[in-house]
Amino acid sequence: MNHSDTAPAPAAAPEKGVRHILFPYAGEDGFLTGTLSFVEHALGAGEAVVVAVSGPREQLMREALAGAGTGDRVSFLDTGELGSNPGRLIPGWQAWIGKVAEAGRPVRAISENRWTGRTVAETAELRYHEWLLNRAFAESPVWWLLCPFDTGTVPGGTLEVLERCHPLVLGPDGPVPGLGYAEGPYAFEVLGDPSDPDEELAFASGGLAAVREQVTACAARYGLTGDRLRDLLLAATEVAANSIKYAGGGTLRTWAEEARVVCEFRDGGYIEDPMAGRLRPTMDQVGGRGLWLVQQMCDLVQIRTSPENGTVVRLTMGAAAG
């Protein structure tokens, strides 16, 4: 089959930003039909191609591209090195796309996120990540991102959420405007209730030691030790310090959930920038590094913030790397 017959190259691209394309598919044949067509058009136009898909899907693509004699012209990335935290994906793409684009060639990328085997909280943050991609790259040079989505294996309701996050959908004749796309605001899932939380700790100026003591005590009960406890303590201290600096203090609750330690901070402040902590700080940047470091140290970071209700930050850390 000539895959290029099934999905012609998209029409004129915008002057800047990411062309974010949702590709719902079913089965291996459906996956290869769409992705190989996308790659063929990119290579035919002299564009660079970057692929980040799961192990089995990566093998399928490598074999198909090798058979077509184009495998050496496609770069494959391992997003698994970033861990389970979706908050690390955007800076990863910033680095990868920036490196490829240095050669002056337009870039097309394929990214299939891992949806199975995740917790409910991780799945919710991965959905939010897809929405944030549009904002993160709104001012970047034009590049294309195709997001394959296996409709037969992913959590229920996820496709509807992703349709809201993708301006384009890959159809039989190429990308078309997504009818479900909405620029925002993003409709967050409600955070689940804590399971048997510790007594609530109120903290303010001078209270960081008490915060660390409560986090350490909870971690000890659930076997979180060593470097991972150290990272959680650093992250918790950073969040608590921000609460003290910008909101005068807040409250802390800790508990275990699915063999992971959770630390929840609440205060009356408001984080206006939805990209806070999601973009790699620049060398000359003043401030704004705290939440970035928190994202790098924890298995999952959930932030819910509004002027009316204040801010909730949940940090999750397992005994082993996620």
Burial bucket for residue 247 (CB in 10 Å: 0-12, 13-18, 19+)? middle
- Can you give the pLDDT of all 322 residues of the chain as single tens digits? 344 444 444 444 447 899 999 999 999 999 999 999 999 999 999 999 999 998 889 999 999 999 999 888 999 988 877 778 999 999 989 888 888 776 778 899 999 998 888 898 999 999 999 999 999 999 888 899 999 999 988 777 889 999 999 999 998 888 999 999 998 789 898 898 888 877 899 999 999 999 999 999 999 999 999 999 999 999 999 999 999 999 999 999 999 988 899 999 999 999 999 999 998 887 776 666 899 999 999 999 999 999 999 999 999 999 887 6
Q: What is the DSSP letter of 105?
A: -
Is 201-318 a domain of CATH 3.30.565.10?
Answer: yes
Which run of H or E residues covers position 107?
strand 107-111
Which of 296, 177, 163, 130 is CA-nearest to residue 228? Answer: 296
Q: Does domain 3-177 have CATH number 3.40.50.300?
A: yes
Q: Looking at the chain, which residues constitute the CATH 3.40.50.300 domain(s)?
A: 3-177
State whether residue 301 is helix, strand or coil.
Answer: strand
Residues of the chain within CATH 3.30.565.10 domain(s) are 201-318
Instruction: Tell me the two tokens of residue 95.
Output: 């680095």
Tokens, residue 47: 């564009």
Query: What secondary structure letter does DSSP report for 5?
Result: G
Instruction: From 23, 32, 24, select the one nearest 1 (Cα to Cα).
Output: 32
Beta-strand ranges (E) seen in 141-189 are 143-150, 168-171, 174-177
Render pLDDT for 96-151 as a digit per residue (tens, 0 to 9): 888 877 677 889 999 999 888 889 899 999 999 999 999 999 988 889 999 999 99
Q: What is the rounded end-to-end Cα distance, in angstroms, of the chain?
A: 40
The dihedral of CA 152, 156, 162, 164: what is its sign? positive
Length of the chain: 322
